[in-house]
A and B are shown apart, each in its own frame.
Chain A
Amino acid sequence: TQLLEQSPQFLSIQEGENLTVYCNSSSVFSSLQWYRQEPGEGPVLLVTVVTGGEVKKLKRLTFQFGDARKDSSLHITAAQPGDTGLYLCAGPQGAQKLVFGQGTRLTINP
């Protein structure tokens, strides 16, 4: 079974600061996805990274897939309170199902 480890598990910072969260595995993944989940809602897909070394930007969010396709990072610039939520990485296991990391719970304080 492929496992994904996310760090840190909890992060609380002030508005305007930058942050990076990590998603690591000992296994190679064909792709990795990042989701954001708010209380009482299901996860919402933010991005999919497919190629080793790939960098994708979504406004103030920058996602990177490791060269060896075993890890990924999410960097947020100038964090805002609206960025608060649970950030999950996920990778495909087999043909269809996803394996998720345990998540990073991010709190941005005004």
Chain B
Amino acid sequence: GAGVSQTPSNKVTEKGKYVELRCDPISGHTALYWYRQSLGQGPEFLIYFQGTGAADDSGLPNDRFFAVRPEGSVSTLKIQRTERGDSAVYLCASSSSGYEQFFGPGTRLTVL
């Protein structure tokens, strides 16, 4: 079956611009996670959804970051007023149990 998909695969933007990153989870998975992976580092947790609601958003670095999952399936991570420090790979994962998370290929965001 289809795995987790993320679009776009690459996004280049200018400092101060707004970006949206999309995640399509595995069908039927109720849990969805966003992580950020900087160069040479492991993924860092950003936010976790159970169904439509954000169950834990403690990893969002500041109020420029926001994520939604309006119908309990597709999720969008939104970043306002992007900064060069936001450059990273943004990973999405989904799970049916929380025990095993299945990761998408990521979106590589570059802020110039």
**A and B, one complex?**
yes
Residue ranges of A at the interface with B (Cβ–Cβ < 8 Å): 4, 6, 9, 40-45, 48, 88, 90, 93-103
Quote the shortest CB–CB distance from A63 to chain B (angstroms).
15
Which residue of A is nearest B55, CB measured?
Answer: A96
Assess the A97–B59 pair: CB atoms within 8 A. yes
- What distance in Å separates the Cβ of B82 from its nearest Cβ neighbour in chain A? 22
CA A44 – CA B45 in complex, angstroms?
16
Contact check, B42 vs A97: say whether CB atoms are below 8 A apart: no
Which interface class (under 10, 10 to 19, 20 to 34, 35 or more) fits B? Answer: 20 to 34
Asked if residues A100 and B44 are in contact (CB atoms below 8 Å), the reply is yes
Inter-subunit contact A45/B100 (CB<8 Å): yes
Q: Which of A48, A90, A97, A100 touches B48 (beta carbons < 8 Å)?
A: A97
Q: Besides the contacts A6-B42, A41-B106, A42-B4, what 9 more A-B pairs have beta carbons closer than 8 Å?
A: A4-B42, A9-B40, A45-B100, A96-B33, A96-B56, A97-B45, A98-B45, A98-B101, A103-B42
- Give complex CA distance A4, B45 in Å: 14
Q: Mark B16-56, 1 if CB is under 8 A from A, else 0.
A: 00000000000000010101000011111100101000011
- The answer on a CB contact under 8 Å between A43 and B103 is yes
